[in-house]
Amino acid sequence: MLTQAGSCASAPLFQIRDAEVVRAGKTILHVADFSLDEGEHVALLGPNGAGKSTFIQLLTREVFPLFREEPPVRFRGQARPLLEDIRSSLGIVSATMHDQVRVHLPAIEIVMGGVFGTLGLPMRVSVDGEVRDRARDALERLGIGDLANRDIMTLSTGQVRRVLVARELVRDPQVLVFDEPCTGLDPQGMYHLRQIMSTLAEDGRSIILVTHYPEDIVPEIDRILLIKDAAVFANGSKERLLTSEVMSDLFSVPLTVAKHDGWYSLY
Ligand SMILES: Nc1ncnc2c1ncn2[C@@H]1O[C@H](COP(=O)(O)OP(=O)(O)OP(=O)(O)O)[C@@H](O)[C@H]1O
């Protein structure tokens, strides 16, 4: 059934069939078959250079696969969705975005910039009280309402990371992509970030997490997608795949996985 926006109500959130991305004459990612339902969560795990970021960029349409008669990537059933539809449904939190926050602006302006897709507020735009309230509310939900007027350059790495989550939440996206969200954070910062992922997952939003560490995979994320050598190495439940044997195969070194209260660690 088609909705008003033209998407298929019963279609998966994302569906990939036979998508191949080639750069400099080399296949940097091939995905034979993958789909993610609305509200479902998945964590992508794999060695450096395996193709995880490329996978995310396939979903966000920042990279395109080779042409196929049957379009390889669909968003809510649509082969050619409007970029605006994807942008409004998806929030992305990454350490890369963190590197771009090198401006003297109050945290709340960085958050309001999320509404416009700009770093701070665009010039000559006057924001109404409703946008400011939404930004303040997003900061409050992340436990950093008191930082709203602080210059972003004076905040700690963990605080900035939370401001960046607020910046995405201000648009109320149904899907959140966390790309190595705990990079550079101390244990306290990691704790808060993981709590945030859990809360958002429980909220009914889809979480797509990219990480090198099983420690980041919050209990709400049941499913993992392992990527190695430009292809899907395995796709399935955490229970089945987060084992010492599979992790050792994935990273090509001897590793041990420990499990405790729904959390996993690797050493
Ligand atoms: N424009 C490009 N030209 C050539 N090779 C590229 C290009 N973009 C990416 N690659 C290669 O594609 C492979 C996959 O890159 P990708 O960034 O997806 O890996 P990743 O799993 O996210 O790595 P990491 O964990 O280090 O972030 C890498 O070997 C990378 O060097």
Does the C-beta of 51 come closer than 6 Å to ligand 1? yes
Domain harbouring 241, CATH code: 3.40.50.300
- Which whole number is the average pLDDT over 169-186? 89
Is 114 a member of any domain?
yes
C-alpha–C-alpha distance, residues 94 and 86, integer Å: 17
| Closest residue CA from atom 12 of ligand 1 | 28
Is 5 a member of any domain?
no
Does the C-beta of 31 come closer than 6 Å to ligand 1? no
| ipTM reported for the complex, 2 dp | 0.96
- List pLDDT tens digits, range 50-109: 999 999 999 999 899 999 888 899 999 998 888 888 888 999 988 777 778 888 999 999
Residue 149 has pLDDT above 90, yes or no: yes
Residue 3 has pLDDT above 60, yes or no: no
Pocket perturbation via mutation, ligand 1, pick of 28, 94, 211 by most ligand atoms within 8 A of CB = 28
Q: Which residues contact 215 (CB under 8 A, 6 or more apart)?
A: 182, 190, 263, 264, 265, 266
Does the C-beta of 49 come closer than 6 Å to ligand 1? yes
Residue 111 has pLDDT above 60, yes or no: yes
Residue 124 has pLDDT above 70, yes or no: no
C-alpha–C-alpha distance, residues 16 and 118, integer Å: 30
What is the predicted pLDDT for the residue at 125?
66
Cβ 227 vs Cβ 55: under 8 Å: yes
Is 6 a member of any domain?
no
- Which whole number is the average pLDDT over 10-27? 94
Residue 2 has pLDDT above 90, yes or no: no
Distance from the alpha carbon of residue 142 to the mean position of ligand 1, in angstroms: 32
Q: What is the mean pLDDT of the chain?
A: 90
Enclosing domain of residue 82: 14-266
Distance from the alpha carbon of residue 230 to the mean position of ligand 1, in angstroms: 9
**Measured torsion, CA atoms of residues 87, 91, 94, 97, in degrees rounded to the nearest 10:** 60
- List pLDDT tens digits, range 192-243: 889 989 999 998 899 999 999 999 999 999 999 999 999 999 999 999 999 9
> CA-based angle 105:186:260, to the nearest 5?
135
Distance from the alpha carbon of residue 140 to the mean position of ligand 1, in angstroms: 36
Does the C-beta of 94 come closer than 6 Å to ligand 1? no
Does the C-beta of 50 come closer than 6 Å to ligand 1? yes
Pairing of β 26-36 and β 90-94: unpaired
The one-letter amino acid at 16: I
Does the C-beta of 77 come closer than 6 Å to ligand 1? no
Distance from the alpha carbon of residue 177 to the mean position of ligand 1, in angstroms: 18
Is 7 a member of any domain?
no
Number of domains in the chain: 1
| Closest residue CA from atom 30 of ligand 1 | 49
Is 110 a member of any domain?
yes
| Closest residue CA from atom 1 of ligand 1 | 23
- List pLDDT tens digits, range 25-55: 999 999 999 999 999 999 999 999 999 999 9
Does the C-beta of 211 come closer than 6 Å to ligand 1? no
What is the predicted pLDDT for the residue at 251?
96
Is 68 a member of any domain?
yes
Is 51 a member of any domain?
yes
Residue 123 has pLDDT above 90, yes or no: no
SS3 string, the chain, reads CECCCCCECCCCCEEEEEEEEEECCEEEEEEEEEEECCCCCEEEECCCCCCHHHHHHHHHCCCCCCCCCCCCEEECCECCCCHHHHHHHEEEEEHHHHHHCCCCCEHHHHHHHHHHCCCCCCCCCCCCHHHHHHHHHHHHHCCCHHHCCCEHHHCCHHHHHHHHHHHHHCCCCCEEEEECCCCCCCHHHHHHHHHHHHHHHHCCCEEEEEECCHHHCCCCCCEEEEEECCEEEEEEEHHHHCCHHHHHHHHCCCCCEEEECCEEEEC
What is the predicted pLDDT for the residue at 5?
46
